[in-house]
Amino acid sequence: MIDLYAYITPNGRKPAIMLEEVELPYTVKKVDISKGEQFSPEFVAINPNSKIPAIIDLDTNITVFESGAILIYLAEKTGKFLPSDTAGRMQVIEWLMFQMASVGPMFGQLGHFRRYAKEQIPYAIARYEKETLRLFEVLNSQLEKHEFIAEDYSIADMATYPWVAAYEYLGVTLDEHPHLKRWMETLQNRPAVQKGMAILR
């Protein structure tokens, strides 16, 4: 049994999708970041960085925070969605790191400045929108050559999908990125993706 500490954000949904895909039993523990619950002493003991998601594997008593680390842990635990050969494994991990280092932070900044900033800062919005669209094109080019981001369906797809799926919320479009749009439609038809995206609704 896995305890998943999460909220209704792209990062919170990533491990839920993986847990659904590998069919591991899990319980969602809501951490309402809009109320600052991530700063509670109880949660800081789980993740010193006060960010969701985090998991506790009750079978092994192992705690893991950072969504990318959680996906790798679950892939290694189940032997699924992360190749065992070095070349395939590194391809998945590099695209997972691409999501963690580029897609998540840049999309998140666009969402912040467009949706939450107390004042609209045109320079910030334009900067992060330009970078979001550039990252869309990186993904679109990769998906022109491959059905999924790293050859076969993997944790790289699960990590990236919730962020791309927020494109309308971010105020951008996929119209100029047909291969990315095709990939997104493929993933959103997967039952596990649908269930993982629906947590805490």
Q: Which mean pLDDT values do the consecutive 10-residue runs of the chain (201 residues) have?
A: 97 98 98 97 98 98 98 98 98 98 98 95 98 98 98 97 97 97 98 97 84
Give the Cα separation of 49 and 162 in Å (integer). Answer: 22
Neighbours of 48 (CB within 10 A): 9
Distance from first CA to last CA of the chain, Å, rounded?
A: 21
Neighbour-count burial of 89, counting CB atoms closer than 10 A to its CB (0-12 exposed, 13-18 middle, 19+ buried): middle
Give me the pLDDT at residue 128, please. 98
Angle at 37 between CA 61 and CA 76, to 5 degrees: 30
Give me the pLDDT at residue 155, please. 98
Give the Cα separation of 40 and 8 in Å (integer). Answer: 18
Going by C-alpha positions, the residue among 150, 155, 10, 132 that lies closest to residue 70 is 155
Give me the pLDDT at residue 191, please. 98
Neighbours of 72 (CB within 10 A): 20
Q: 127 pairs with which residues across the strands?
A: none
Give the number of residues written for the chain.
201
Domain annotation for the chain: domains and CATH numbers: 2-81 (3.40.30.10), 86-195 (1.20.1050.10)
Give me the pLDDT at residue 201, please. 84
